[in-house]
Amino acid sequence: MSGRTIQHPSSLLDIGLRIADMAAIVGSVYFVAWMQGIATGSNRLLAAAAGAIIFSVAAEITGLYRSWHGVSSERELLCNSITWLGTVPVLVLVGFLIGRLDQVTSELTRNGMLGWFFVAPLAMTILRAAMRIVQYVLRANGYNVRGFAIVGINEIGFELARSIECSPQLGLKMIGFYDDRPSERLPSLPSNLGAKIGNIDLLIDQARAGEVRIIYITLPLRAEQRVKNVLARLADSTANVYLVPDFFVFELLKLRWTNIGGLPAVSVFENPFYGIDGAVKRAVDLLLASLLLAVLAIPMAVIGLAVKLTSCGPAIFRQKRYGLDGKPISVWKFRSMTVCENGSVVAQATRNDARVTPLGAILRRTSLDELPQLFNVIEGSMSLVGPRPHANAHNEHYRKQIQGYMLRHKVKPGITGLAQVSGWRGETDTLEKMQRRIECDLAYIREWSLWLDLKILFRTIFTVLLKQNAY
């Protein structure tokens, strides 16, 4: 359960955040006008109101006001910025449609409008951070704290207790554990997490008396009848009851709740790049790949010409690989060998491989042969960061030997990846090496963040310079 935490609704905080965002948007208009020495006007108020309304609608689309507990603050602030970036063009379009944009800009001036577009998200970020800090300090000092109990002395209960203990902003205080099993059948309970208060009967009595208001049930999925019995008895109380299922006994790729016709479901194997995450990753891919192509266009042309002149065959070699969801894609590379293997049997490159040309050896050591894959990124079949695509023959070979091998294809393949910067670049001449690579690929999918992508890209530079396992 490490890294996976329970989310708690906080309606008052949500209302406060919405009010703070509206205040930041409206207030920043007047702040910019004040900085320019411009008097207040109806057009300025209209722009502020329109911006606030459009932002509210955009926030519902991006999920800005969902619970962010268990998610990094950076991602929350990124979502806030993206919501505002989506608001600005809509606001400009509305201004043109109603014919008031010129009047608004005449009051604020165009520089003033530009200033508002930058000041508003900054003001929202400051207010949002301030509210989080105030909430954290108050709850860390015991204000608005509620007691909770855990049914089930087991590893899931222990992880839940640790998660809540590390999150004082939740305003929850541990009462203790409850379990019907005798002491000899219970695992050792860490003293720093709390103590066993009693059995389920005692918990039911305390819940009915209003002494326990929040209860988490961490019994395993196989104990269905026990869970039903506890829930049936707790129904005779007004306590808030939550089930914490032990999904984590399975190899989850990305945990996410969804709803199908009113029935809740949890994802086990799923592409993690949905919604705002997918849009952010794609935007970063397009931006960075375009910049790299602009910078590297001439060097790539020189490399292509050199490949063509120094050996027989095409300058660029296209090999069939598995892409997103296992669909076939053509991966572009500068040809570095005397052969263009693309069939059912493809031998991996080894040290001093006779198939590698002299120029190809240099390209492979420096990873320059991978540069044409920037076009794959632009067209959308690859990403800058992701599991490296293997030859189809290797996919069919290893999927039979390594459990979960094909899960790496739940995301787009990448030019570089976590495995490559973790020492598993190059030849995989043993099954163990491939297993370590797959472990890194699946860890990347589970733990993805924009910051992780940027770290991998940065580490790739040093991996290439050190020429680790490249031949």
Q: How far is CA 8 from the centre of its chain?
A: 19
CA distance 101 to 105: 6
Q: CA nearest 317: which of 258, 373, 261?
A: 373
Q: How many residues does the chain have?
A: 471
CA distance 219 to 231: 12
Domains of the chain as residue ranges with CATH: 11-140 (no CATH), 146-249 (3.40.50.720), 275-466 (no CATH)
- 450: enclosing H helix or E strand: helix 450-466
Q: Which two tokens stand for residue 168?
A: 């004082």
Q: CA nearest 282: which of 271, 294, 273?
A: 273
CB count in 10 Å sphere of residue 35: 11
Where does 375-441 show beta strands of DSSP type E?
A: 383-385, 414-416
Give alpha helix (H) positions in 270-425: 275-310, 358-366, 373-379, 392-398, 418-421
Q: Which two tokens stand for residue 18?
A: 């919405």
- pLDDT 10s digit of each residue in the chain, 471 long? 444 444 444 456 677 788 888 888 888 888 877 877 766 566 667 777 888 888 888 887 777 877 665 556 677 778 888 888 888 888 777 766 665 555 555 544 555 567 778 888 888 888 888 877 777 777 667 666 788 999 999 888 998 888 888 776 667 888 999 998 888 888 888 888 888 999 999 999 999 988 888 999 998 878 888 899 999 999 888 888 988 877 665 566 666 666 666 666 666 677 777 767 788 889 889 999 999 999 999 999 999 999 888 888 888 888 889 999 888 999 999 888 776 655 555 555 555 566 778 888 888 888 888 899 999 999 999 999 999 998 888 888 888 888 888 889 889 999 999 998 888 776 667 888 889 999 999 989 888 888 889 899 989 888 776 655 554
CA distance 191 to 16: 38
CA distance 276 to 270: 16
Which letter, b or e, does each residue of 276-299 get, where b requires 16 or more Cβ atoms within 10 Å of its Cβ?
Answer: bbeebbeebbeebbeebbeeeeee
